[in-house]
Amino acid sequence: MRNYQQEGQRVKLILNIIVLGVALFSFSRRPDTYNKSSAFEVFMIDSITPLQHGVTVVNNQLSSFFEHYVKNVSASKENLMLGKRVSDLENRLFLTEEIRKENIRLKNLLEFGVEQNTRKILAQIVAWDSSSDYRVLRINKGVENGVRLQSTVVTSQGLVGYVFRLTKHYSDVLTVLDANNKIDGVVERIRVHGLLEGDSEAKIKMKYVTRTEPIILNDLVMTAGLGNIYPKGIRVGRVTRIERESYGITQSIELKPEVNFRTLEEVIVLAEPVNAQKKKEWSALDNSEEAQK
């Protein structure tokens, strides 16, 4: 009996060491900026997520029922107001279209750069991450819909995040609220750069901005386009708090995201076509880093 117990203890110790070793090795090798899933993980996520999707669909239909039939009292008044707003927006759209054409003409004149042919994929949020340490949402579009790893995700209000993990039919989006999502941002008014980092609540920190920069409350911060993930000029948030000490090099800045994550239901994925030149540059960079190691 005692031998049997000792044998069990020995097996337990060996298994603990093996599993801990494998987990520590994998933990140290885990990339921070994306997650390439194995075929089994892709299969499992694609099999489980329809359950999450189903619950979301049922909820949306119930909400839709209440929105359309129960709370439909002031719909006609709202309809009139929306009609006016549509005509106003149509006018603005016409002006914007003119500006866009002018912009293309001027860019061509200046040979400013090649315009990216970005595809816009509308996606619905089906779930949130099951760990509160991460601000990640799962959307119902994947590889088969044209989404790629590290594709930018936006709404009409501004930046949501980028695709961190991808399966055939679903993607996990690392939002701007996540502390692991680091973005090079620029203050629209004075073109000052800083590092944007989520702090897991409904705000974003802007780091490494020198104390002398004249940033004011309500300044708009946009993506700077550096880092090869986000395109330039997407709205991220507005400055809500500035803390300048009489000492030190930098100032502490907080932003409120332009996107309201509490009510977010649909997003747009900006799927860029595979750029052979960009791919070549990345693989050259990877190779040089490995050679240095």
Partner 1 sequence: MNHQLKNLLTPLIITIIILILLEIISTVILPIVGLKYYILPFNILVILFLGFKVRTPFLAFLILILQYFHSFFTIEGWESGTIVGIFVCILIAYLKEFIHFSSKLATMLVTQIFQTCWFLLSSSLIYLRASDLEYISIKFWRFLPESILISILSPFIFSLLEKIWDTSEKGMLGGES
38 lies in the site for partner 1, by CB under 8 A = no
DSSP string, 162-217: EEEEE-SS-EEEEETTSTT-EEEEEETTT--EEEEEE-SSS-EEEEEEETTS---T
CA–CA dist 139, 47 (Å, integer): 14
Q: Report whether 254 contacts 203 (CB < 8 A).
A: yes
Choice between 264 and 268, CB closer to partner 1: 264
Please identify, using beta-carbon distances, which residue of 67 and 102 lies nearer to partner 1.
67
Among 160, 174, 183, 229, binds partner 1 (CB under 8 A): 174
String marking each residue 248-287 x if it binds partner 1 according to CB under 8 A: -------------xx-------------------------
Tell me if 210 contacts partner 1 by CB under 8 A: no
Q: Check residue 71 and report its DSSP letter.
A: S
DSSP string, 171-186: EEEEETTSTT-EEEEE
Cβ closest to partner 1, residue 4 vs residue 69: 4
What one-letter code names the amino acid at 78? E
- Residue 241 to residue 38: CA distance in whole angstroms: 42
Give the separation between CA 23 and CA 31, rounded to whole angstroms. 14
- Contacts with 239 (C-beta within 8 Å, 6 or more apart), sequence order: 187, 206, 215, 216, 217, 218, 219, 221, 253, 254, 255
Residue 269: CB minimum distance to partner 1, A: 17
Residue number, 12 or 278, with CB nearest to partner 1: 12
Taking the least distance from each CB to partner 1, the nearer of 220 and 264 is 264
Strand partners, 118: none
Interatomic CA distance for residues 104 and 161, integer angstroms = 27
- Between 98 and 199, name the residue whose CB sits nearer to partner 1: 199
Whose Cβ is closer to partner 1: residue 140's or residue 224's?
A: 140
52 touches partner 1 (CB under 8 A):
yes
Residue 64 binds to partner 1 (criterion: CB under 8 A): no
**111 contacts partner 1 (rule: CB under 8 A):** no
Which residue number, 28 or 79, has a Cβ lying nearer to partner 1? 28
| Binding of partner 1 by 162 (CB under 8 A) | no
Identify the residue whose tokens are 């990216």.
116
Of residues 178-197, those binding partner 1 (CB under 8 A): 179
* Residue 30 interacts with partner 1 (CB under 8 A): yes or no: yes
**Least distance from partner 1 to the Cβ atom of residue 257, Å:** 13
Half-sphere exposure of 287 (CA within 13 A, CB side): 6
φ, ψ for residue 57, nearest 5 deg: -65, -45
Task: Note whether 270 and 223 are within 8 A (CB).
Answer: no
Q: How far is the CB of 121 from partner 1 (least distance, A)?
A: 20
User: Where on the chain is the footprint of partner 1 (CB under 8 A)?
Assistant: 4-5, 7-9, 11-12, 15-16, 18-20, 23-24, 26-27, 30, 35, 41, 44-45, 48, 51-52, 55-56, 59, 126-134, 136, 138, 164-165, 172, 174, 179, 199-202, 261-262
